[in-house]
Structure 1
Amino acid sequence: MPDSVSPRQARPVDHLVLPTASLDLARERLHSLGFTVAPMGRHPFGTANVCTYLSDGTFLESLAIGQRETCERAAIRGNVFVARDQAFRFRNGDEGFSALVMETEDAKGDHAAFVKAGISAGKILNFARAFVTPDGTRDKAAFRLAFAADLRAPDVFFFTCQRVNVPDVDRSVLQRHENGVVAIREIVLSETNPTDFQYLMQEVVNERDVNAHSFGMDIRAANANIAVLTPAGLEAFFGAKAPLGERGLHLQGIVFAVRDLAHVEGLLSGNGVAFEKRGARIVVKPAAGQGAIFAFEA
């Protein structure tokens, strides 16, 4: 197994990409779930997003097509981010959960490691975009991305994100959420035989240790658990069904850590959001503007 970093140090989860047909719809749905949502951002390659920032440094990126012609030109020119988004929407529709993103301080080194490991999804992407806080403060954020994927799993991709320029703005107001969410505790994927993708996940997370169990496998990132569950595991833990008869990884859900689970229950009930209590978790099934299972636990 190649050593991209020696000794290995597991990467942290940086953010999660949730395609949506409408940023307005995503904002409305996230507000109903008790999240604070940042103002819209635009990418130079035609996509647009609204982000939900958490106090653990992670965030959700609700992603929409802003300018279709610009997106198509970018994909033709080799922009992996846009090309994979287009492929996901073609196969799955405009709502879903498409990418798991890991934090890095060396995207160029990650790209070289992904190429060596045979999992590179294409060339590095460098870009910058404007950043605006709710009070109107403006700055520019710059990023460098290195991509990984597996041809056996066309509906999910991975990349590491190097924050080349971090906006000098106070995000604390954006990190306070009515539902009391403070962190991402777990990211959930499904696959009939999870260990078929053990090598890929080890390289993406940069962690060799894997806990295999009867419902799948867990691999620990620096700040969250990543679970790849069998269809039986997905149904047992989240009451959800994996795509029938389909092989390949599918991103399914996000488990959030909250301060007070009873408060979440009351908030969801008051906002008319359907949910299910499963053990120590509250589980909300995907809906328009919410492309993944959202689970909350204390």
Structure 2
Amino acid sequence: MSGAALQVSEPFDHAVIVCNDLDAAVARWQALGFTLTPRGFHTLGSQNHCIMLARDYLELLHVTAPSPSRQYYWDAQQRGDGCAAMSCKSRDAFATADRLRAAGFQPSDPIEFSRPVRLDDGSEHPATFRVTALDNAPGARYFVCEHRTPELLWRPEWTAHANGATAIAATYLVVEAGEVARTANAYATLTGGAMTHVSGEMAMLDIAGASFVVTAPQALADAADVPGLHATAGYAAIRLMTDDLERARTHWRANGVRPEDVSATVSVIPGEHANGVTLVFEQR
């Protein structure tokens, strides 16, 4: 399928990182300099903490028991921590589901769910979402998220981080070398992103200012410009923009975190310190 056939504007929304031990994950990500939202309890039976950035976010997710709507994440969690899925924003999950079906995909019917959000003033409100997903999308799960109450998530007290993180700059999806072109073309259609680079082992899409990179295992280090970076399959790395890398490095040192400083403007947190996903911080 060709992404040029059907362009839409659905920017990057968030990446889902499954965590077997959510309490330990909270301590780990706070040590990395992130502000976490209070624990959320979904009506679907999962729990989370979110790391809200200016336009997108990271979700630390824990599934307490298998269920039809959480089965994919339950299975991923049983295999170990890591980035299990990515999503784009949708203004209308039902319309997006129709668009994807017309393009030849088979997304789930949109489901609506919520979780209570407690604000600093003590009040509690239901944050509500609609989601349509493709569990069998190339490489890993893909879904779109319609935020019914975005004002309950993007709040000043949750978007300021000690490491200066401001936005997701890129995600890196690793697939077999022979699947790079097919996977990238599929995501161009799924997201409406424009293909900006294609080679035999790597392809890059621009999704409303964030890069979505599909790469073969042997090309990951070059694609991310991180020497020695490797992974076999799935979402291997997330690149984050920071407005103050030196402040991030100071915070990490104070909290016993030892990043790999690749250059004056890039530091890397290995996956074993971030629940299975490598974090690349870049000063911008």
Q: What TM-score does the superposition give when structure 1 sets the normalisation length?
A: 0.85
RMSD of aligned alpha carbons? 2.3
Q: For residue 62 of structure 1, what is the amino acid of its counterpart?
A: L
Equivalence for 1:87:
75
Identity %: 23
Judging changes above 3 Å, is the alpha-carbon distance between structure 1 residues 212 and 296 closer, same or farther for their aligned structure 2 residues? same
Are the equivalent residues in 1 in contact too, given 2:195–2:203 (CA < 8 A)? no
Bigger drift between 129-138 and 34-43 goes to 129-138
2:90 maps to 1:104: yes
Judging changes above 3 Å, is the alpha-carbon distance between structure 1 residues 3 and 257 closer, same or farther for their aligned structure 2 residues? closer
Bigger drift between 187-196 and 32-41 goes to 187-196
2:183 to 194, 197, 201: 197
2:123 maps to 1:137: yes
Equivalence for 1:246:
none
Bigger drift between 125-134 and 232-241 goes to 232-241
2:106 maps to 1:120: yes
Are the equivalent residues in 2 in contact too, given 1:148–1:204 (CA < 8 A)? no
**Counterparts of 2:138 and 2:38, CA distance in 1:** 36
2:247 to 257, 263, 267: 263
Are the equivalent residues in 1 in contact too, given 2:3–2:188 (CA < 8 A)? no
Equivalence for 1:242:
231
SS, match of residue 87 in structure 2: strand
Are the equivalent residues in 2 in contact too, given 1:219–1:227 (CA < 8 A)? yes
Judging changes above 3 Å, is the alpha-carbon distance between structure 1 residues 197 and 85 closer, same or farther for their aligned structure 2 residues? same
Equivalence for 1:158:
142
Deviations 1:35-78 (A, max 9, x none): 11110000112110011111x22111100123x2xxx3x31xxx
Q: For residue 216 of structure 2, what is the amino acid of its counterpart?
A: T
Judging changes above 3 Å, is the alpha-carbon distance between structure 1 residues 198 and 152 closer, same or farther for their aligned structure 2 residues? closer
**Counterparts of 1:84 and 1:36, CA distance in 2:** 27
Equivalence for 1:281:
266
2:164 to 151, 155, 180: 180
Shift of 1:87: 2.5
Judging changes above 3 Å, is the alpha-carbon distance between structure 1 residues 170 and 97 closer, same or farther for their aligned structure 2 residues? closer
Q: For residue 297 of structure 1, what is the amino acid of its counterpart?
A: E
SS, match of residue 240 in structure 1: coil
Judging changes above 3 Å, is the alpha-carbon distance between structure 1 residues 211 and 10 closer, same or farther for their aligned structure 2 residues? farther
**Counterparts of 2:106 and 2:4, CA distance in 1:** 13
How many positions carry a matched residue from both structures? Answer: 277
2:39 maps to 1:40: yes
Judging changes above 3 Å, is the alpha-carbon distance between structure 1 residues 167 and 137 closer, same or farther for their aligned structure 2 residues? farther
Bigger drift between 129-138 and 184-193 goes to 129-138
Shift of 1:286: 1.2
**Counterparts of 2:48 and 2:157, CA distance in 1:** 18
SS, match of residue 266 in structure 1: helix
User: What stretches of structure 1 of length at least 5 have no aligned partner?
Assistant: 244-248
Q: What TM-score does the superposition give when structure 2 sets the normalisation length?
A: 0.89
Structure 1 ranges of 4+ moved more than 4 A: 1-6, 167-170
